[in-house]
Amino acid sequence: MEELVHYEVLARRPGAAMHLEAWLEDQSRALQMANEMIGCGEFIAVMVVRETRNPKSGKFTPLVIRREGDFTSPVSRKLASGDLPPPRCRTGADLYGPMARARIAEVLEAWLARKKITAFELIHRLDLTETLRNTGGEYQHAVQKFAVPEALLRRSTVHEVIKSLHPVIDGAATRLRLTTQANGFAALSLSTFADTCEELVEVNDRLFLLGGAVAAYLESAEDWGAKVERVLNLADAAPEDGPGRDLAMHVLAQPMAEILNIPGAMAELLGPDLDAAGHLGALAQLSAPEVAEAVAAFDPAAATLLPQPTAIGERLARFAADPRVSGLRVALGRKILGEIASPKRLRPASAEGEVEITRVLAITLMTAAEHLGGAEAVHEAFVSRSHAMVGSEFVTAYLKVARSPIDEALALVRLMESVVGGIHKRQAVRWLQSCVTSLKFDAEIKSTKQPAGARLAQLAALYRRIARSGGKEAGIEPLLNIIGDLGGQIEAEAKLIAQLRRVGTPPVQKLQGLIRMAMGETAPPGPATERARLEAKRVMAQPDTIHELSRSPKMLHQVQSMMSALDKAA
């Protein structure tokens, strides 16, 4: 027998004692929950404990894998008896509510995954409930997983919670057994589904009865794709409007929502070869297909980065777009934002590819913000993502690709453009500044292998990119000054302005070149552009220049406009 491992997330609110908030089987989810709890400001301390159960002795071995916050301040606030929350489930019918189904899916995650069924199917099929209860140890382990946090919440013992839970489970099982034995669940087919929905509209137990019929209809599906296809076929066969369609979509949304929350199921549906970034791109197209299409039309490069939706994915998107299942779209949005905010890499094989897909996802999700909890929620998710993208581990991986120093600087500008939040912009600028001030960059930009004019043009392009994308919050002024000074040194060493003065170029052509340099087109703003501005004024005042300009009013107007813009910029 294998060891059983789970993760407990404990947290503490101000003035209160430590409390068990969750019991999970996925370490990454437990750590993500702890990060969210300590970041929301509601908790002053969090702890994640890895519990390993020895199958022979039955004992658990705890190991603290995350601990942060204040564990020492005294407890000043205690719950009064009137503050205790009521039991979450009092009758068997309560197990069919959305919160109860989610809890069942959580505590039975491994068992449900092996059987390739949902919690919805489990509670609506007698054969599955009996199979589970006959497993013995696994069933008892699931009950305990629910009972431990419930006991802490209610200031009770695990034994008392389990004792109160058994009548609820027995009541639900009895109800399911009696209905099944009485053939209370209709035998569904695509041709009879609409009529069945209309017949059940006025029945008191309509959700339970239609749910049992749908669960039986899904029984023959051997994999997640087949289950989803059967749900979608029922949705297509549902009544076109009215209470019958409301009932059908409400029930069909339940197994669909649970399937979309199963990682293995989504891999089957959206494509097994997708990495985390591609998976999120596919989910984004599910939650807001029209937005993804609009973004791809606006930016053709995005079309190549977002995965092509599968046939079943396109049907899923149409199903999720129905206003009767708006909760499904919201749940998809929460799932997407949760993945975006998590610290894990989205494209481990390519940090550069991760930056690009993150930009596309940001554009797509911000455009679809109304379906995802609002623009603020989307922004906060990408702020969390940005924290990982400016970390040393990610930047090291990002700069592993062989590039010239100037291309490395431009790549870091791309990173700065892709992160959000002032603190992350400033960190990206610090990485960029360390690149620009490095000996490698200095040697490259001052090397005579390239003409001085070409090197100045590269610095000018880098300056413009930084100035355009940095913003005031990034603190880019010192970096821009460094680039401007480098440009001044290159121009001074090459004596470009002095050479331009000596060559026999027509005065107006010489003036235009100086103005372009002075305006930062061919040199970064700084000493070089200031010298070019002064030289341009000198050339402008020469008799030869005035005479040549007087012969072409059009050129005169053009040069005067450029000089006026130059004076304003100065």
| Segment 121-130, tens digit of pLDDT | 999 999 999 9
Residue 2 has pLDDT above 90, yes or no: no
| Packed helices 527-540 and 477-494: angle between N→C axes, nearest 10 degrees | 60
Residue 255 has pLDDT above 60, yes or no: yes
Residue 320 is predicted with a pLDDT of 85
Q: Which of 52-61, 352-361, 389-398 has the lowest mean pLDDT?
A: 52-61
Structure tokens at 177: 């057994």
Q: Which amino acid is at 475?
A: G
Exposure letters 426-456 (e unless 16+ CB within 10 A, then b): bbbbebbbebbeeeebeebbeeeeeebbebb
pLDDT band at 239, cuts 50/70/90? Answer: very high
Residue 458 is predicted with a pLDDT of 92
Residue 225 is predicted with a pLDDT of 87
Q: What is the pLDDT of residues 151-182, one digit of tens each?
A: 766 667 777 778 888 888 888 889 999 999 99
DSSP helix/strand/coil, 333: helix
Counting residues of the chain whose pLDDT is more than 70, the rounded percentage is 90
Distance CA 371, CA 326 (A): 9
Q: Which amino acid is at 86?
A: P
Q: Which of 355, 351, 486, 471 is nearest to 423 (CA)?
A: 471
Of the spans 272-286, 404-418, 469-483, which averages the highest pLDDT? 404-418
Structure tokens at 31: 């750590």
Distance CA 347, CA 397 (A): 11
Residue with tokens 């609820």: 168
pLDDT band at 138, cuts 50/70/90? Answer: confident
pLDDT band at 43, cuts 50/70/90? Answer: confident
Structure tokens at 524: 């970064």
pLDDT band at 360, cuts 50/70/90? Answer: confident
Structure tokens at 130: 């009996």
Q: Which residue has the higher pLDDT, 182 or 471?
A: 182
Q: What is the pLDDT of residues 188-232, one digit of tens each?
A: 899 999 999 999 988 888 999 999 999 999 998 888 889 999 999
Exposure letters 323-357 (e unless 16+ CB within 10 A, then b): ebbeebbbbbbbbbbebbbbeebbbeebbbbbbbb
H helix runs in 14-73, sequence order: 27-40
Distance CA 135, CA 36 (A): 35
Structure tokens at 326: 């708006």
Q: Which amino acid is at 448?
A: T
Residue with tokens 């797509």: 364
Residue 178 is predicted with a pLDDT of 93
Residue 324 has pLDDT above 90, yes or no: no
Q: How many CB atoms lie within 10 A of CB 70?
A: 10
| DSSP state letter for 271 | -
Residue with tokens 């089957």: 268
**Which residues contact residue 70 at a Cβ distance below 8 angstroms, ignoring those fewer than 6 apart?**
12, 44, 45
Exposure letters 249-286 (e unless 16+ CB within 10 A, then b): bbbbbbbbbbbbbbeebbebbbbeebbbbbbbbbbbbb
DSSP one-letter string for 103-156: HHHHHTHHHHHHHT--HHHHHH-HHHHHHHHTTTHHHHHHHHHHHHHHHHHTT-
| Packed helices 405-418 and 452-470: angle between N→C axes, nearest 10 degrees | 10
Mean pLDDT (the chain) is 83
Residue 29 is predicted with a pLDDT of 76
Residue 154 is predicted with a pLDDT of 67
Percent of residues in the chain assigned helix, strand, coil, to nearest 5: 70, 5, 25
Q: How many CB atoms lie within 10 A of CB 547?
A: 10
Q: What is the mean pLDDT of residues 372-382?
A: 83
Q: Which residue has the higher pLDDT, 76 or 70?
A: 70
Spatial contact of 321 and 329, defined as CB atoms under 8 Å apart:
yes
Q: Which amino acid is at 250?
A: H
Residue 369 is predicted with a pLDDT of 78
Residue 545 has pLDDT above 80, yes or no: no
**Which residues contact residue 133 at a Cβ distance below 8 angstroms, ignoring those fewer than 6 apart?**
139, 173
Residue 83 is predicted with a pLDDT of 46
Give the chain's radius of gyration (CA, Å): 33
Spatial contact of 11 and 47, defined as CB atoms under 8 Å apart:
yes
Residue 4 has pLDDT above 50, yes or no: yes
- Which sign, positive or negative, has the C-alpha torsion 315, 317, 318, 323? positive
Q: What is the pLDDT of residues 426-440, one digit of tens each?
A: 999 999 999 999 999
Residue 85 has pLDDT above 60, yes or no: no
Q: What are phi and psi of 121, to 5 degrees?
A: -65, -40
Distance CA 438, CA 450 (A): 19
Distance CA 257, CA 9 (A): 25
Residue with tokens 């050479």: 499
Residue 106 is predicted with a pLDDT of 86
Distance CA 158, CA 34 (A): 24
Q: Which residue has the higher pLDDT, 234 or 361?
A: 234
